[in-house]
C-alpha cells in the first residue's frame, strides 16, 4: 500500500469507530482526557490497528 492509502485507511477507521465512541467519552469524563487517549492507544482494538498503521507509515 502507498502512504496515501495507509492514511486513508486510518481516517476511515477513525471516522467509523472513534467519532462518538462511548468508551472514549466515558473515560474522558471519569478520568480525564489523558487517560482516555492512553486507553484508546493501548486497550482498544481499533486504536491498536491505527497504531499498527502508524508504525507502517513510519517505515515508509
In degrees and rounded to multiples of 5, residue 56 shows phi and psi of -65, -35
Taking each continuous run of H as one helix and of E as one strand, the counts in the chain are: 4, 0
CA dist., res. 38 & res. 23, Å (int)? 12
The grid coordinates listed for 57 are: 507509515
Percent of the chain with pLDDT over 90: 80
**Residue range 7-30: average pLDDT?**
94
16: pLDDT strictly greater than 90: yes
Q: What are 20-48's pLDDT values in tens digits?
A: 999 999 999 999 999 999 999 999 999 99
Amino acid at each position: 500500500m502507498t502512504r496515501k492509502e495507509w492514511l486513508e485507511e486510518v481516517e476511515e477507521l477513525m471516522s467509523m469507530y472513534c467519532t462518538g465512541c462511548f468508551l472514549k467519552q466515558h473515560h474522558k469524563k471519569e478520568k480525564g482526557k489523558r487517560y482516555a487517549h492512553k486507553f484508546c492507544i493501548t486497550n482498544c482494538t481499533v486504536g491498536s490497528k491505527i497504531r499498527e498503521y502508524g508504525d507502517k507509515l513510519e517505515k515508509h
